[in-house]
């Protein structure tokens, strides 16, 4: 279904445009959020103001404007959609823009630390901070970015928002701990994987969406819609990421493929494949550490329908995200959030 929709869509668009005014088709999420994101990285660099030259270059390293900025984009679009829903002008209020910035800072700090834990030497097509400056300095850089994010968070001056975004940092740590352990029981394993995925990836998006809703609306049901959209899109995003580890060429992803297997991680495609090839069970338990495990597991996954099943699951999560956000009043931003779920499913890097 995923591939089908990719080919169908361009033809659908071209014939719609002739009959309907072009405003009728959902605006590209990137274009719509662009205005609020243009100076995002520059503003983050201002938050990271340090006099010590080396620390500055470490902290600025990933804020080079080359990332996908998918998290702040979702936050910006959600904020505008919620503002319109709450009978306000669509424009962001300063606190909401800060939350978009903070979400990218927390995300980046977690990448810096993850790369140390995983011993990675490549990220976004360039060398990792730990590869260039060493592990000790990388850990300190991650800490420093987090502390700058915490200061920016405190400046928003809303206790509930502080609580919601602090939850993200706790989840990131717990998620990383979950990833370091694994489950013996097969049924528990999938639950463990999805919970880890929520904590490591989706919590940030869910709670950032919730935080921007708290600033403009006092209705807990609206907070829940924002949170559930972020949660479901976040999980779908990571499921697709786990698929791309098997289907995308290394140069495409900016990091080596089969990276997860090499790290000893059993993601969705492997867990689904294990139902067809029970031989994978022992490999998962020893974290693909024996000679030839990685290659054999790779082969099993490609022979199974693990990739299709994981894609299908991602689709289910996207459908739930759409169901949630559709409860908001119609607006170009709301429609862009719906369109974004399609981009999450069809991305190839």
Instruction: Provide DSSP, 152-217.
Output: HHHHH--HHHHHHHHHHHHHHHHHHHHHHS--SSHHHHHHHHHHHHIIIIIHHHHHHHHHHHHTT-
Q: Which two tokens stand for residue 225?
A: 């819609």
Residue 140 exposed, middle or buried by CB count within 10 Å (0-12, 13-18, 19+): middle
For 102, list phi and psi in degrees, rounded to 5: -60, -40
Q: Which long-range contacts does 57-63 make (Cβ < 8 Å, 24+ apart)? A: 58/129, 58/133, 58/137, 58/138, 58/140, 58/141, 59/141, 59/144, 59/145, 59/148, 61/129, 61/132, 61/141, 62/108, 62/111, 62/112, 62/123, 62/124, 62/129, 63/104, 63/108
Residue 245: both structure tokens together: 């580890």
Say which residue the tokens 């990276």 belong to. Answer: 259
What 3-state DSSP class applies to 290? coil
Predicted local distance difference test score (pLDDT) of residue 10: 32
Query: Which CATH code for domain 6-346?
Result: 1.10.600.10
The owner of tokens 């928003």 is 156
pLDDT score at 26: 66
Q: Which residues are bridge partners to 127 per DSSP?
A: 122
Q: Which of 103, 105, 132, 102 is nearest to 116 (CA)?
A: 132
Q: Note the pLDDT of residue 14.
A: 34
Q: How far is CA 315 from the centre of its chain?
A: 15
Q: Which of 34, 16, 33 is nearest to 25 (CA)?
A: 16
> How are the residues of the chain apportioned to helix, strand and coil, as percentages rounded to the nearest 5?
75, 0, 25
Return d(Cα 304, Cα 274) in angstroms, integer: 9
Residue in 93, 82, 88, 87 with CA at minimum distance from that of residue 328: 82
Tokens linked to 79: 């904020």
Per-residue tens of pLDDT for the chain, all 349 residues: 333 333 323 333 333 333 333 345 667 888 888 888 888 888 998 888 887 888 888 888 888 888 788 999 999 999 999 999 998 887 899 999 999 999 999 999 999 999 999 999 988 788 999 999 999 999 999 999 999 999 999 999 999 999 999 999 999 999 999 998 877 788 889 999 999 999 999 999 999 999 999 999 999 999 999 999 999 999 999 999 999 999 886 556 555 578 899 999 999 999 999 999 999 999 999 999 999 999 999 999 999 999 999 999 999 999 999 999 999 999 999 999 999 999 999 988 7
**Rounded to an integer, what distance in angstroms lies between the CA atom of residue 91 and that of residue 333?**
11
DSSP, collapsed to helix, strand or coil, labels residue 122 as strand
The pTM for the full model equals 0.89
Beta bridge partner(s), residue 122: 127
Contact between residue 127 and residue 121 where contact means Cβ atoms under 8 Å apart:
yes
Q: How far apart are CA 129 and CA 142, in angstroms?
A: 10
Segments making up each domain of the chain, as ranges: 6-346
Q: What is the predicted pLDDT for the residue at 89?
A: 83
Q: What is the pLDDT of residue 262?
A: 92
């Amino acid at each position: 279904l995923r591939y089908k929709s990719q080919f169908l869509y361009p033809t659908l668009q071209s014939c719609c445009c002739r009959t309907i005014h072009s405003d009728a088709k959902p605006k590209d999420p990137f274009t719509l959020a662009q205005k609020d994101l243009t100076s995002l990285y520059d503003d983050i660099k201002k938050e990271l103001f340090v006099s010590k030259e080396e620390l500055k270059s470490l902290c600025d390293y990933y804020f080079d404007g080359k990332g996908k900025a998918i998290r702040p984009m979702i936050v910006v679009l959600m904020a505008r959609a919620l503002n319109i829903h709450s009978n306000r002008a669509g424009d962001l209020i300063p606190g909401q823009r800060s939350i978009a910035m903070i979400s990218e800072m927390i995300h980046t700090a977690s990448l810096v630390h993850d790369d140390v834990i995983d011993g990675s030497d490549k990220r976004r097509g360039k060398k990792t901070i730990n590869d260039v400056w060493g592990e000790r300095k990388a850990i300190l850089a991650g800490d420093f970015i987090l502390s700058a994010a915490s200061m920016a968070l405190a400046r928003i001056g809303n206790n509930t928002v502080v609580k919601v975004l602090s939850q993200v940092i706790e989840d990131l740590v717990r998620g990383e701990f979950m990833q370091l352990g694994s489950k013996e029981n097969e049924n528990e394993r999938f639950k463990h994987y999805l919970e880890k995925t929520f904590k490591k990836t989706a919590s940030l998006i869910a709670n950032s969406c919730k935080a921007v809703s708290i600033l403009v609306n006092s209705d807990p049901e609206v907070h829940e819609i924002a949170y559930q959209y972020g949660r479901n899109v976040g999980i779908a995003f990571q499921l697709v990421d786990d698929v791309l580890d098997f289907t995308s060429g290394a140069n495409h992803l900016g990091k080596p493929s089969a990276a997860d297997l090499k790290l000893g991680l059993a993601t969705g495609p492997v867990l689904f494949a294990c139902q067809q090839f029970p031989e994978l069970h022992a490999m998962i338990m020893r974290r693909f550490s024996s000679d030839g495990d990685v290659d054999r597991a790779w082969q099993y996954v490609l022979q199974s329908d693990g990739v299709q099943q994981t894609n299908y699951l991602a689709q289910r999560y996207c459908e739930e995200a759409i169901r949630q956000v559709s409860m908001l009043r119609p607006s170009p931003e709301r429609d862009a959030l719906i369109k974004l779920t399609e981009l999450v499913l069809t991305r190839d890097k």
